[in-house]
């Protein structure tokens, strides 16, 4: 062990002084002593010094119990991300109606809870000319969970007077709004 006053000298030393005769070797104020940390605010005790001292330096205090761990902050789930495919059409016995099937996929991290599907139904003449588009809306088939895929079929109709004999409808456009 090394005394706190510095290295001990014995009577066989060349100067013949005892430790009490040796002047204190403390560095001038503001100068770090040998082995001391130069980082402000950090005072690291000498790891070899385990002798008890009045200030408690070099002693090991009993470990305090750690505070109750707080739950780790996990990243919140990603919002719903709904995608849909092209409409698959199937005719009915009425020229102004058709069955439309649309596939949905939620690739987000939360459930789709509500929404609407808007269909753009084109009125096509006998020569293939698009005479107009009629929009209609329906509720989204909810809930759609994270990672889920689902298909839903709607019967989409327009007013009968809009589709005279020789004409038909085609639901080509689908847009979706969800929450």
Mean pLDDT by 10 residues, the chain (179 residues): 60 49 50 49 52 52 61 81 97 96 96 97 96 97 96 97 95 95
Q: Does domain 82-178 have CATH number 1.20.1440?
A: no
Cα separation, 100 vs 166, in Å, equals: 21
| pLDDT of amino acid 37 | 47
pLDDT of amino acid 90: 97
> What confidence score (pLDDT) does residue 141 get?
95
pTM of the model: 0.59
- Please report how many Cα atoms fall inside a 13 Å half-sphere around the Cα of residue 116, on the Cβ side: 6
């Amino acid at each position: 062990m090394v005394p706190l006053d510095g290295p001990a000298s014995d009577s066989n030393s060349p100067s013949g002084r005892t430790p009490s005769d040796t002047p204190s070797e403390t560095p001038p104020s503001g100068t770090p002593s040998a082995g001391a940390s130069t980082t402000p605010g950090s005072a690291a005790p000498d790891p070899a010094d385990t002798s008890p001292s009045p200030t408690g330096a070099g002693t090991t205090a009993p470990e305090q119990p750690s505070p109750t761990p707080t739950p780790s902050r996990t990243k919140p789930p990603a919002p719903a991300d709904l995608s849909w495919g092209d409409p698959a059409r199937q005719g009915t016995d009425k020229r102004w109606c058709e069955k439309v099937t649309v596939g949905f996929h939620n690739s987000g991290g939360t459930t789709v809870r509500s929404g609407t599907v808007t269909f753009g139904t084109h009125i096509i003449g006998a020569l293939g000319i698009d005479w107009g588009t009629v929009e209609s809306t329906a509720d989204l088939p909810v809930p759609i969970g994270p990672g889920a895929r689902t298909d839903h079929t709607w019967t989409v109709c327009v007013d009968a007077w809009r589709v005279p004999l020789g004409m038909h409808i085609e639901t080509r456009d689908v847009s979706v709004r969800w929450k």
